Amino acid sequence: VAASTGHTVILVDQSDEILNKSKKGIEDSLKKVAKKRFADKPEAGAEFIEKTLKNIGTSTDPVSVVHSTDLVVEAIVENLSAKHDLFKTLDKFAPEHTIFASNTSSLPITDIANATTRQDRFGGLHFFNPVPVMKLVEVVKTPMTSEKTFESLVDFTKALGKNPVACKDTPGFIVNRLLVPYLMEAVRLFERGDATKEDIDIAMKLGAGYPMGPFELLDYVGLDTSKYIIDGMYIFWTGYTYYMLLFLTSQDRPSAPHKLK
């Protein structure tokens, strides 16, 4: 998305194999966008794809590329220790003006930022999948995030053609704070035997107008990611039954029907 709006992007991952697979996925996605956006102008579509791909570089060494970046957006595994290790390293080599942001959906931005010396230049940019399609970005401001940093993140979001919403650094931000209790109640409805997964999905799509039913959405997001979100929210909101761990996603209950796909 950033590359298609004229930004120079360096995609960083653990191996060239992963990076090549990611670039292939991006190219396939761009072809779909071009086919729709330039239906009557195939040459313009081809040019759009070429220009976008030229804006994307790759690297397996974040230290070697961070020295020339204005913004780092992290989207690694939802593990606080792993994020700390990454940002501690980047903080040593990134220019003073570089803003750090995390795409986390479950971990407090403040806790992640504490691994760095630039808490005032640290915020959250929570995108929603599929990113090329979904217009919303939650822009998260911690008590330490400077107003200048927050405004820069909002401006960047708008430059991508997205709609930013301002969020405080609370578990779940806005969307997941409302969405998780809905998903968990759908699971409880199924576990009680009150309805099948299929009927619950149909009911919410046809009755509430949702594009996906709750079980389709859990499958799309992934049960591992969903569990990270639920665990993080329950730690913060202990005592609130809305955020209690589900048997469906619990590794402690192997006999539970935790595989939805």
Q: Please write the tens of the pLDDT for every residue from 109-131.
A: 999 999 999 999 999 999 998 89
Averaged confidence pLDDT in the chain:
90
Q: Please write the tens of the pLDDT for every residue from 69-115.
A: 999 999 998 889 999 999 999 999 999 999 999 999 888 999 999 99
> What is d(CA 12, CA 243) in angstroms, rounded to the nearest whole number?
34
| pTM score | 0.87
pLDDT for res 234: 73
Q: Which residues are annotated as a binding site for CoA?
A: 29, 36, 105
Q: Is the pLDDT of residue 229 over 50?
A: yes
Residues annotated as catalytic (active site), given as ranges? 105, 126, 138, 176
Q: What is the CATH number of domain 175-249?
A: 1.10.1040.10
Residue 137, classed as helix, strand or coil, is strand
Lowest mean pLDDT: which of 51-60, 118-127, 229-238? 229-238
pLDDT for res 134: 93
Q: Which CATH architecture has domain 3-168?
A: 3-Layer(aba) Sandwich (3.40)
Asked if 138 contacts 175 with a C-beta cutoff of 8 angstroms, the reply is: yes
Q: Which residues are annotated as a binding site?
A: 29, 36, 105
pLDDT for res 244: 60
For 141-151, what is the mean pLDDT?
A: 98
Residues 6 or more apart whose CB falls under 8 angstroms from that of 4 comprise: 30, 33, 48, 52, 55
pLDDT for res 236: 72
C-alpha dist (Å) from residue 191 to 70, 143, 187, 214, 251: 48, 40, 6, 14, 16
Q: Is the pLDDT of residue 259 over 70?
A: no
pLDDT band for position 138 (50/70/90)?
Answer: very high
Q: Is 239 left (phi over 0), alpha (psi -120 to 50) or beta?
A: left
Residues 6 or more apart whose CB falls under 8 angstroms from that of 150 comprise: 123, 139, 141, 166
C-alpha dist (Å) from residue 125 to 5, 42, 219: 17, 33, 23
> What is d(CA 89, CA 97) in angstroms, rounded to the nearest whole number?
16
> What is d(CA 140, CA 240) in angstroms, rounded to the nearest whole number?
23
From 55, 133, 70, select the one nearest 101 (Cα to Cα).
70
> What is d(CA 258, CA 261) in angstroms, rounded to the nearest whole number?
9
pLDDT for res 256: 38
Domain ranges of the chain: 3-168, 175-249
Q: Is the pLDDT of residue 156 over 70?
A: yes
Q: Is the pLDDT of residue 9 over 60?
A: yes
